[in-house]
Amino acid sequence: MRKKHCNKWLKDTRHRIIRLSEPKPFCLLQTVSKIKRLANVSVCHGKLSANGENGSLMNAWPVSKIAQGAADRVFFPPKVVMEVKALACQLPGERDLPFSRLSHADIAREAVLNGIVASISGATVWRWLSNDAIKPWQYRSWIFPRDPDFAKKASYVLDLYQGIWDGKRLGPNDFVISADEKTSIQARSREGLTTAPAPNHIRRVEFEYQRGGALAYLAAWDVRRAKVFGLCDTKTGIDAFHRLVDLVMKQEPYRSANRVFWITDNGSSHRGQPSIDRLSEWHPNAVLVHTPVHASWLNQIEIYFSIVQRKVLTPNDFKDLETLEQKLLGFQSRYEEIAKPFKWKFTKEDLNRILSNLSEYNNFYTLKAAA
């Protein structure tokens, strides 16, 4: 056994020496990684286009292949990468394309049609874009600040969240209330039974339903004490908002408070200077503070409403408006038992930084449009 093993080892050694001493052909046979167990591939030296042919297209960059283990990756000049990324950072309308957004395959196709490169795959484009976190196929809704006094009005609200008013700290007898209405909450009575979850089965809710009307949920959130006040009505308006204010202001400690700041948006129930005067007439120690136009995200009550939407209203399955009202007010009482003040970390400095970035962004696109 030892002799055979030794002979085999000598035979393999001679074979290796002969192979290493043979002249190399022009086209080298490259073996691939054993892990992936792919077939051997042959790579010929010389300039190749991205699709393996000679780069003869006008204005298209010829490319070459570099061996990288199991797979050969096409090498593109840096200028091609830059031009493809620039293409991805353009809106489709700027290139007269009938798309609302571009995928990596669309970008690859446009790069070929515009002569940037002879051939390129969508996967290659995706790899380049991911390096710079460029995702032209994604988008989000956005509202640009249009209130001329946006920074000033927002600063008042953000100062109150930090316990400051007119540059002075709020006293122990000052309170901050965030209030708004959640409108058009429908009562949808399902046509079939709602089943409970079970092993390997999620909860099932019948798709078809009967409309049972709609309610408005008016709520006020004590920012510093984490207290919730709310009521339901079939419609919103000044009268409904007045009832919410009375619900809060006619009980202690708000009735005898030094100042109670009411933060609201610019809804029709509490809009403009008339609403400020009206609130002070209802309760002399109440001060109405408006958020800027299109800035309800500055109002903390919206955080509570988002919790209500997730915990109570989704899925919407209520027999009638009475059941819907009971659920809303019942959750309000339950939530107040565990509620804590929201950890609001957004400050005036953060706001000023964002507004500065938006200003530079708008200036860039204004100059671009003018050019």
Mark whether 246 and 306 lie in a shared domain: yes
Task: Determine, yes or no, domain membership for 20.
Answer: no
Higher pLDDT, 247 or 5: 247
Mark whether 101 and 217 lie in a shared domain: no
Number of domains present in the structure of the chain: 2
Task: Evaluate if residue 68 carries a pLDDT over 60.
Answer: no
Mark whether 120 and 154 lie in a shared domain: no
Question: Where on the phi/psi map is residue 171: left (φ > 0), alpha (ψ -120 to 50), or beta?
Answer: beta
Q: What pLDDT is recorded for position 354?
A: 87
pLDDT per position as a tens digit, 321-351: 999 999 999 999 999 999 999 999 999 889 9
Task: Determine, yes or no, domain membership for 357.
Answer: no
**Rounded CA gap, 365 and 3, in Å?**
82
Mark whether 173 and 294 lie in a shared domain: yes
Prior bond to 253 cis, omega within 30?
A: yes
pLDDT per position as a tens digit, 179-237: 999 999 999 999 998 889 999 999 999 999 999 999 999 999 999 999 999 999 999 99
pLDDT per position as a tens digit, 127-152: 999 999 999 999 988 777 888 899 99
Model confidence at 81, pLDDT cuts 50, 70, 90, reads very high
Mark whether 169 and 226 lie in a shared domain: yes
Task: Determine, yes or no, domain membership for 286.
Answer: yes
Task: Evaluate if residue 27 carries a pLDDT over 80.
Answer: no
Which residue pairs from 321-324 have beta carbons closer than 8 angstroms and sit at least 24 positions apart in sequence? 321/187, 321/212, 321/213, 321/214, 321/215, 321/234, 323/187, 324/185, 324/187, 324/212, 324/215, 324/232
Dihedral over alpha carbons 12, 17, 19, 25 (to 10 degrees): 170
Q: What pLDDT is recorded for position 368?
A: 61
Question: Which residue range forms the structural domain that includes residue 280?
Answer: 150-193+208-350
Mark whether 187 and 276 lie in a shared domain: yes
Task: Determine, yes or no, domain membership for 48.
Answer: no
Mean pLDDT of the chain: 83
Mark whether 97 and 155 lie in a shared domain: no
Mark whether 127 and 157 lie in a shared domain: no
Report field, pTM of the whole predicted structure over 0.75: no
Mark whether 166 and 114 lie in a shared domain: no
Q: What pLDDT is recorded for position 50?
A: 45
pLDDT per position as a tens digit, 262-281: 999 999 999 999 999 999 99
Mark whether 180 and 104 lie in a shared domain: no
Task: Evaluate if residue 52 carries a pLDDT over 50.
Answer: no
